[in-house]
Chains A and B, each alone.
Chain A
Amino acid sequence: MGFNVETLPAYAKRSQRMVITAPPVTNQPVTPKALTAGQNKPHPPHIPGHFPEFPDPHTYIKTPTYREPVSDYQVLREKAASQRRDVERALTRFMAKTGETQSLFKDDVSTFPLIAARPFTVPYLTALLPSELEMQQMEETDSSEQDEQTDTENLPLHMSTEEAGPEKENSSVLQQSSSLAGSRNGEENVIDNPYLRPVKKPKIRRKK
């Protein structure tokens, strides 16, 4: 490769050469004595004896360890509240940053950014229909309604519903209907309602 082999020793002995020190001899790590964690299990009868022994129990036994769950109601609520608030804040800020905004202060548009009002083509739909989240929630509460509520704090409130106040009828009437609504749906196929009748074909002679 164009080098003179003779010059190699000289090069090796040059003054600025880098000396690579030999790796320090480390003590051979002593294989620690197998920590015996409990007795090795003997083979169950269906395993022939020539099979190796079971490994130490600690290799397969699981000791479920977990942190004590935060069962303090107050902390949970606190967490849920601040988490939701943070998410909402972050989300709305993001939306505000990425879209048009309005501001209450002329000098500062970023501290309280308001997502700009945007007219709808059909405004009543968003205003009246429950959002998907609400629908989902409704289904959940419907199914879990009979379930025991984890929040025991709410129980007394439940109880008070049963107490017949003087204005009880007020609430009972309002709720009554929803339970009745579905009951007679099966009959609909026999309904004779003019709006359900088929549309007639035009007559050959023009109707005057």
Chain B
Amino acid sequence: MNRKKGDKGFESPRPYKLTHQVVCINNINFQRKSVVGYVELTIFPTVANLNRIKLNSKQCRIYRVRVNDLEAAFIYNDPTLEVCHHESKQRNLNYFSNAYAAAVSAVDPDAGNGELCIKVPSELWKHVDELKVLKVHINFSLDQPKGGLHFVVPDMEGNMAERGAHVFSCGYQNSTRFWFPCVDSYSELCTWKLEYTVDAAMVAVSNGDLVETVYTHDMRKKTFHYMLTIPTAASNISLAIGPFEILVDPYMHEVTHFCLPQLLPLLKHTTSYLHEVFEFYEEILTCRYPYSCFKTVFIDEAYVEVAAYASMSIFSTNLLHSAMIIDETPLTRRCLAQALAQQFFGCFISRMSWSDEWVLKGISGYIYGLWMKKTFGVNEYRHWIKQELDQIVAYELKTGGVLLHPIFGGGKEKDNPASHLHFSIKHPHTLSWEYYTMFQCKAHLVMRLIENRISMEFMLQVFNKLLSLASTASSQKFQSHMWSQMLVSTSGFLKSISNVSGKDIQPLIKQWVDQSGVVKFYGSFAFNRKRNVLELEIKQDYTSPGTQKYVGPLKVTVQELDGSFNHTLQIEENSLKHDIPCHSKSRRNKKKKIPLMNGEEVDMDLSAMDADSPLLWIRIDPDMSVLRKVEFEQSDFMWQYQLRYERDVVAQEEAILALEKFPTPASRLALTDILEQEQCFYRVRMLACFCLAKIANSMVSTWTGPPAMKSLFTRMFCCKTCPNIVKTNNFMNFQSYFLQKTMPVAMALLRDVHNLCPKEVLMFILDLIKYNDNRKNKFSDNYYRAELIDALANSVTPAVSVNNEVRTLDNLNPDVRLILEEITRFLNMEKLLPSYRHTITVSCLKAIRVLQKNGHVPSDPALFKSYAEYGHFVDVRIAALEAVVDYTKVDRSYEELQWLLSMVQNDPVPYIRHKILDMLTKNPPFTKNMESPLCNEALVDQLWKLMNSGTSHDWRLRCGAVDLYFTLFGLSRPSCLPLPELGLVLNLKEKKAVLNPTIIPESVANNQEPVISSNNHGQSVGFQNTFSNSQEEEEIDMDTVHDSQAFIYHHLNMLERPSTPGKEQSSGEITMHPVSAAPLSVFSKESNSSKHSDHHHHHHHEHKKKKKKHKHKHKHKHKHDTKEKEKDPFVFSNSPASARSIRSPSLSD
């Protein structure tokens, strides 16, 4: 939203205010996966002539709508079901993205739109004019929902409760419309009454307070009554129903935890820490948790690991763990803490518009960071910040920028703030998932930058202010206009900051929030001995995509002999060189301790230094107060000093990465020393392992002594008396544990002069496996064993292939035989004694793929495909699928690609579907501009269909399909497609046109035929149809409906139904229109250009056609499409006729 507008407070895009909503689900059928219920919305008109009410609803079948007990007509139209209609030629992602953004816009609640348009009965018009209350009552049902509500029904004996069947709401951003009609916006708040009638053995968990549970008359079911009195957006409403085990938190009785049967012991352990997170947030925010209760539900087949909703969070059941598991514990706690942070900012405080999302994500991410710092320590926190910073920098440089606060002006293409992207950033639903992840990452980093500017104290005061305003507003039960105080906007947030801190952070906001891109610094220096001055040169690259120019202060820390000094440089337009006076003269004869930044004084061996310079090391922007990448040049000894003596873990990690380029004995020594330092942060030591392996490989010809790290490992973890045997496991010391896990993995990367893994190392790892003994250990060693398998995989080098013979057992390398022996045994043992999260199976599958890829074992996807099937643990499936994706790429297998794509369409688990697309995008079988036998027209059609209509039930999946399409074919028309018969391809992006040289006017290509025949059919029965849908099972394909009688009969049946049938109706998108036969009948004879435009128009309403001239070109047409959808909200270009709409012709016209 526009910032000026925000200043005036919140303006609802709707001509009414919703104050209360009842959701009642009276029947849930697990067998049929169906839901029946009604909603009742209490709304107050804010304008006198309100005659249409627009609501959001997807995939629900709506039976009946009543407004104040009067039957009301309604239209159900969802342009996102199929984005481009009958678009068979273009296949151009640019076109699709525009059309998709337009379609999402057309139903965007933040623009006052919706899929469901209800006509206020004329009897009530007078009532409305007095701005009196309206109650909109909608009966609906859901049948086999494909998104929004996920059923998990294990296929086994017993009733649903015994089988552990459950259902839960899920989705990305506002997805509540998938399971009940509502105003699916984060900015429309209301109070809620939620009722769920479920089987007596089940529990329904939802938002707000459970008021009572009542049996039905037959005592076989019970109804859960929930009240949520804190105004909440529909998008924050959630539901989970299942035979859950209930655990009341022993520390906080208002908090209740739920898990699936048999997992109670794990639940107890997993949630035993939660109260500390509560305490932490309440303390720093000086604000009580806003809701009167909190519920955590752990479910299977989760859409995301953590989903936060008002007063409840839905977690993946795979986060549960027992006390024996080390690795999962911090991860799960982080998830819990994240979920809780979002309770305050995201659920309780909602946002005004999509462009304010960054504030919520930023604040919740920021306070989560504070929790991390407190819980895991400053080192872990700084390591995390560095990691996040590296990620966002890499992503922005790759894609061209992440914009936190997009402002949308006139809507012209030129103004598009994200023209470098292949999707629109105007709506959450058009965003690539990766972009959204990075968006969240940037948001919290920017919050941290704001904190740097105004201090943490002020920052927390601002948060407290937002929360107390919201909590005052939320208690105003009957003053719904006050509720907008619970919505945060960018401008409101910034105003708060300036009020509280009195500081102007506008430049910072302009740089990082209103603008995308990161800063890229290149630094180098020279020491001027005469002037005793450090001449620092800092260059910037601000021309590459994803970069921006930085102007402002930049901190540089110089460690000299006399101590550490901070300097703040002003980075200006044209000044590259900065002179920094040094404090110390170079004098090495004096034996003196050297003071560090933290006040510590240490002895150093200064012999490695340059005799003329007092400089030990230099750091640019040590506090990470700019979103940047720094490439700094300093000598190897400086990096070594930095690694040994700088106490900041980020500096140590930077030094380690830099030392990779200096394979010298001195680097080796520095790294080895760090490895041995128990005081050193364990992650730094782990990183040092890998760097040491790289250095050892570069130094292979001069390396002396045993393989790198071997003697170290022996000293740390092996028996004193028999150094070849590892001690029995004892993982009480977690730092040692992580190091013990990592070292073999890094060692396996060592290579000898022949580029093979040294035999000694392989034997060493095999011995570790052999002598591994966990009997006396308090903790599980499954992650350790998994990493030993990873180590085996790392030791594999490409097979020496004599000729291209098929790999058989006989010519198996003896080392590989040993490796394979272990993998076989491990994988088989997993079947008998499965490990936690099947980490060992996962590692074995990965290792087998490595063996295949290196030519030791015949490349074959069959094994992976069997592990990828539904019914395996999700981690195993992902590992197996990753192998299949890799196989598809390496072997260019069309069959496997098809297998993967069919899984994308049919797998029961949404996360798997998403992940396959994600993995295919990250490891694509081919990319644009690449010749590949896989790249053909059929694949283009298939993927197009997938993103156009096959994924309409899941925003994330659709965006994933778009990402894949982009990776494979790029933005413009896929190169593998023949130039269209129409002869003219207009490239919108480059404003180019290509004429097909092979064009023969009379020829009609194969792919056109179905279109023509469908049109003919349409004509013959007197319909102008728009059947090109494909995603519904009850699809009515015109090609197959040869019997027009049957066709009419079918639709008459439909029309007789008393309501808009959700599903069939969307598939049978028909509009009753007298046929405009003329343009169609001359279809094949007309000139090419008009033929083309026909294709794009025949699905529009007649009146639209009249408005347009037929002969304009593509470019104009697209604009028309988008514009008209926005301008005229009542034009349903593909309006599905329903019984209602026919009865109320005023609406459909």
Residues of chain A whose beta carbon lies under 8 Å from any beta carbon of chain B: 73-74, 77-78, 80-82, 85, 88-89, 91-92, 95-96, 102, 104-108, 111-131, 133-134, 137-138, 141-142, 144-145, 149, 151, 153-154, 157-158, 160-161, 163, 165-167, 169-171, 173-174, 177-178, 180-181, 184-185, 187-188, 191-197, 199-203, 207
Contacts and interface: CB of A to CB of B under 8 A. Distances in A.
A123 B248 CA distance: 26
A10 to B, nearest CB: 77
B144 interface: no
Interface of B: 154-156, 164, 200, 203, 209-217, 219, 222, 246, 248, 250-251, 253-254, 256, 260, 262-263, 266, 268-269, 272-273, 276, 293, 300, 317-318, 320-324, 326, 329-330, 375-377, 379-380, 678-682, 719-722, 725, 727-728, 730, 732-736, 770-771, 773-778, 780, 807-809, 820-821, 824-825, 827-829, 831-834, 836-838, 848, 851, 857-858, 860, 862-863, 866-867, 869-875
25 contacts: A96-B828, A108-B809, A119-B869, A123-B874, A127-B837, A130-B780, A131-B833, A138-B324, A144-B776, A145-B778, A153-B727, A158-B730, A161-B733, A170-B377, A170-B735, A171-B735, A174-B326, A181-B250, A193-B254, A197-B213, A199-B213, A200-B214, A200-B215, A201-B215, A203-B214
Given A92-B825, A127-B873, A165-B678, 7 more contacts: A88-B829, A91-B832, A102-B866, A115-B828, A123-B873, A138-B778, A191-B248
Contacts of B321: 128
A77 B725 contact: yes
B215 A153 contact: no
B213 to A, nearest CB: 5
Contact of A85 (B260, B317, B770, B809): B770
Given A157-B733, A185-B250, A195-B248, A105 B863 contact: no
| Closest A-B pairs by Cβ, 6 of them | A119-B871, A92-B828, A194-B210, A74-B722, A127-B873, A181-B272
A104 to B, nearest CB: 5
A180 B857 contact: no
Contacts of A131: 833-834
Given A123-B871, A199-B222, A80 B773 contact: yes
Contacts of B829: 88, 92
B820 A112 contact: yes
A164 B92 CA distance: 61
Given A130-B322, A158-B732, A192 B253 contact: yes
B809 A127 contact: no
Contact of A89 (B155, B254, B807, B825): B825
Nearest to A169: B377
B808 A108 contact: yes
A125 B152 CA distance: 14
A113 B825 CA distance: 9
Contact of A115 (B276, B831, B875): B831
Contact of A151 (B732, B776, B821): B776
Contact of A195 (B256, B721, B735, B866): B256
Given A104-B857, A122-B154, A154-B776, A167 B866 contact: no
A174 B317 contact: no
B832 A166 contact: no
B858 A88 contact: no
B736 A157 contact: yes
Contacts of B774: 137
A74 to B, nearest CB: 4
Contacts of B872: 117, 119-120, 123
A130 B324 contact: yes
A74 B718 CA distance: 11
Contact of A181 (B269, B809, B862): B269
A188 B776 contact: no
B730 A200 contact: no
B833 A191 contact: no
Nearest to B216: A202
A80 B772 CA distance: 10
Contacts of B210: 194-195
Contacts of B770: 81-82, 85
Contacts of A74: 719, 721-722, 725
A81 B870 contact: no
Contacts of A137: 774-775
Contacts of B858: 104-106
Nearest to B301: A124
B246 A196 contact: yes
Nearest to A123: B873
B682 A128 contact: no
Contact of B777 (A96, A127, A141, A177): A141
A193 B248 contact: yes
A192 B256 CA distance: 11
Contact of A196 (B248, B720, B778, B837): B248
B709 to A, nearest CB: 18
A126 B873 contact: yes
Contacts of B679: 165-166
A184 B836 CA distance: 29
A149 B776 CA distance: 9
Contacts of A134: 324, 780
Given A104-B857, A128-B263, A151 B728 contact: yes
A177 B273 contact: yes
A128 B837 contact: yes
Nearest to B155: A121
B730 A128 contact: no
Contacts of A171: 733-735
A137 B330 CA distance: 23
A18 B778 CA distance: 79
A73 B719 CA distance: 9
Nearest to B726: A77
Nearest to B851: A104
A125 B871 CA distance: 11
Given A121-B155, A163-B678, A173-B375, A141 B776 contact: yes
A127 B837 CA distance: 5
Contact of A92 (B323, B809, B832, B875): B832
Contact of A73 (B156, B212, B721, B777): B721
B250 A170 contact: no
B7 to A, nearest CB: 42
Contact of A114 (B728, B828, B837, B870): B828
Nearest to A184: B250
A170 B380 contact: yes
Nearest to A172: B734
Given A92-B832, A165-B679, A170-B376, A105 B809 contact: yes
B272 A177 contact: yes
A207 B735 CA distance: 60
Contacts of B725: 74, 77-78
A56 B695 CA distance: 78
A107 B248 contact: no
A154 B728 contact: yes
A165 B246 CA distance: 39
A165 B873 contact: no
A154 B730 contact: yes
Nearest to A160: B733
Contacts of A106: 858, 860
A90 B601 CA distance: 60
